[in-house]
């Protein structure tokens, strides 16, 4: 049973946020509750609070990112931390300084929290084992993107009150999506029913063992769901030719105005961004009344503040 209000007995003990798979419903709820408290900081005239004063947060990004990186930077600075940016585009097997050496250097500089995005699944866990600073995963390969999962859950909870019993469709390239995975862990733990929708060639191996159902037909699913989360087709990650053409993909899996007519009137339309307008979603839908896409971005800030706050607190208390 997911807890709705702040649980006074609960203590957050993790100094890393590596993924949502290992988190309990109680832990996820605790992060969301904490984020609620931080949301109003952004509405003040002085948009700053002191809990991370004197702490250094490093944005260690090995993949392109604008919104996640800026969101973390802003979250850290709202909590009064100093932020350093370390952006380096590398292929997973490129020579040169190893990830471990890079991280050890940062550790030596006295970093308190590393926010890492990397193309290799498991890179944040690898760091957390090898350096003595807090590690926050900002996306690793197609493993997890925990703060995205959290902010999506937060957005739904804020509008619908709870995730318990909701039907949520996640549509698109599930196989290569860390967002789909983190969404799945967070939403199912909070009591929602998740449906993965996409062509079989974009479903992960042994999807049947995941706590979701699978559909190859958006048309069948669209009428049933309370929330629809449209993934971005990530052309840079697609291996080979998993669908014959963009046109054909859009025909079967695009969220069009036509399809929206058959959806529940209060359906929430989500997208982790950036949107390929006209591909996975028509502009009228992206900008329509059911869209909460910008709400997601706004909530991301509060969620990331909560995460930075909590891992830092756990580190300070030597958990």
Partner 1 sequence: MNSELLIKNGRVIDPANDIDEKCDVLIIDGKIAEVGKIEKDAQTIIDAAGKLVTPGLIDIHVHFREPGDEEEETIASGSAAAVAAGFTSVVCMPNTNPPIENETDVEYIHRKGRQARKTHVYTMGAITKKREGVELAEMGFMADAGAVGFTDDGNGVQYSAVMLRALKYAAMFDVVIAQHCQDNGFAGSGVMNAGYYSTILGLPGIDTLAEEAMLWRDIQLVKKTGVRYHAQHISTAGSVELIRAAKKDSLPITCEVTPHHLLLTDECCAEYDTNYKVNPPLRTAKDIEAIKEAVSEGLVDALVTDHAPHLQSEKELEFLAAPFGIASLECALGLYVKALLEPGILDWVGLIRLMTEKPAKIIGVDKGTLGVGEQGDVTIIDPNAEYKVDVSKFRSKSRNCPYQGWKVAGKVEKTIVGGEIRFSVGD
* Residue 16 touching partner 1 (CB under 8 A): no
Site for partner 1 in 204-263 (CB under 8 A): 204-207, 209-210, 239
Q: How many CA atoms are closer than 13 Å to the CA of 255, on its beta-carbon side?
A: 35
* Residue 126 touching partner 1 (CB under 8 A): yes
The distance of closest approach from Cβ of residue 318 to partner 1 in the complex, given in angstroms and rounded to an integer, is 23
The distance of closest approach from Cβ of residue 172 to partner 1 in the complex, given in angstroms and rounded to an integer, is 16
**Cα–Cα nearest to 148, from 117, 124, 110, 104:** 117
User: Can you tell me which residue has the tokens 């988190």?
Assistant: 23
Stretch that binds partner 1, among 28-36, 124-132, 216-224, 275-283 (CB under 8 A): 124-132
The answer to whether residues 316 and 159 touch, using CB atoms and an 8 Å cutoff, is no
Ranges of beta strands (E only) in the chain are: 56-61, 82-87, 113-118, 134-140, 167-171, 193-197, 213-215, 227-230, 268-270
**Cα–Cα nearest to 157, from 58, 302, 318:** 302
Complex with partner 1: residue 12 or 142, whichever CB lies closer = 142
* Residue 121 touching partner 1 (CB under 8 A): yes
The answer to whether residues 222 and 248 touch, using CB atoms and an 8 Å cutoff, is no
Size of the site for partner 1 (CB under 8 A): 29
* Residue 23 touching partner 1 (CB under 8 A): no
* Residue 51 touching partner 1 (CB under 8 A): no
* Residue 143 touching partner 1 (CB under 8 A): yes
- What is each CA distance from 96 to 88, 91, 125, 193, in whole angstroms? 12, 11, 21, 45
Binding mask 163-192 for partner 1 (x = CB under 8 A): ---------------x--x-----------
Instruction: Please give the order of strands across the beta sheet that includes 167-171.
Output: 213-215, 193-197, 167-171, 227-230, 268-270
- Answer for which of 7, 100, 284, 316 binds partner 1 (CB under 8 A) is 100
* Residue 123 touching partner 1 (CB under 8 A): yes
* Residue 119 touching partner 1 (CB under 8 A): yes
Complex with partner 1: residue 212 or 306, whichever CB lies closer = 212
* Residue 130 touching partner 1 (CB under 8 A): yes
The answer to whether residues 115 and 60 touch, using CB atoms and an 8 Å cutoff, is yes
- Answer for which of 99, 134, 187, 275 binds partner 1 (CB under 8 A) is 99
CB atoms within 10 A of CB 170: 26
The distance of closest approach from Cβ of residue 89 to partner 1 in the complex, given in angstroms and rounded to an integer, is 15
The distance of closest approach from Cβ of residue 18 to partner 1 in the complex, given in angstroms and rounded to an integer, is 10
The distance of closest approach from Cβ of residue 112 to partner 1 in the complex, given in angstroms and rounded to an integer, is 23
* Residue 33 touching partner 1 (CB under 8 A): no
User: Can you tell me which residue has the tokens 């060639």?
Assistant: 201
CB atoms within 10 A of CB 167: 17
Distance, CA of 203 to CA of 148 (rounded, Å) = 20
The distance of closest approach from Cβ of residue 110 to partner 1 in the complex, given in angstroms and rounded to an integer, is 23
Structure tokens at 171: 């549509």
* Residue 87 touching partner 1 (CB under 8 A): no
Enumerate binding residues for partner 1 (CB under 8 A). Answer: 21, 92-93, 98-100, 118-123, 125-126, 130, 140-144, 178, 181, 204-207, 209-210, 239
């Amino acid at each position: 049973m997911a807890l709705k209000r702040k649980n006074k007995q609960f203590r957050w003990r993790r100094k890393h946020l590596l993924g949502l798979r290992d988190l309990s419903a109680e832990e996820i709820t605790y992060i969301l509750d904490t984020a609620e408290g931080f949301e109003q900081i952004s509405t003040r005239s002085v948009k700053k609070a002191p809990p991370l004063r004197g702490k250094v947060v490093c944005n260690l990004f090995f993949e392109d990112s604008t919104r996640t990186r800026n969101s973390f930077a802003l979250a850290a600075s709202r909590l009064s931390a100093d932020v350093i940016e370390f952006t380096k585009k590398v292929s997973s097997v490129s020579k040169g300084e190893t990830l471990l050496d890079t991280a050890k250097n940062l550790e030596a500089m006295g970093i308190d929290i590393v926010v890492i995005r990397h193309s290799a699944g498991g890179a944040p866990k690898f760091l957390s084992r090898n350096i003595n600073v807090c590690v926050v995963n900002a996306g690793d390969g197609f493993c997890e993107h925990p703060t995205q999962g959290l902010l999506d859950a937060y957005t739904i909870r804020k509008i619908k009150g709870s995730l318990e019993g909701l039907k949520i469709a996640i549509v698109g390239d599930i196989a290569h999506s860390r967002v789909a995975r983190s969404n799945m862990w967070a939403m199912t733990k909070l009591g929602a029913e998740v449906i993965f929708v996409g062509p079989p060639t974009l479903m992960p191996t042994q999807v049947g063992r995941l706590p979701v159902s699978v559909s190859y037909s958006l048309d069948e699913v669209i009428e049933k769901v309370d929330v629809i989360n449209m993934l971005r087709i990530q052309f840079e990650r697609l291996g080979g030719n998993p669908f014959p053409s963009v046109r054909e993909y859009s025909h079967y899996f695009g969220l069009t105005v036509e399809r929206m007519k058959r959806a529940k009137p209060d359906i929430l339309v989500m997208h982790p961004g950036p949107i390929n307008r006209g591909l996975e979603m028509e502009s009228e839908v992206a900008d329509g009344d059911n869209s909460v896409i910008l709400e997601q971005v706004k909530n991301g800030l509060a969620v990331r503040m909560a995460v930075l706050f909590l891992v830092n607190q756990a580190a300070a208390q030597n958990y």
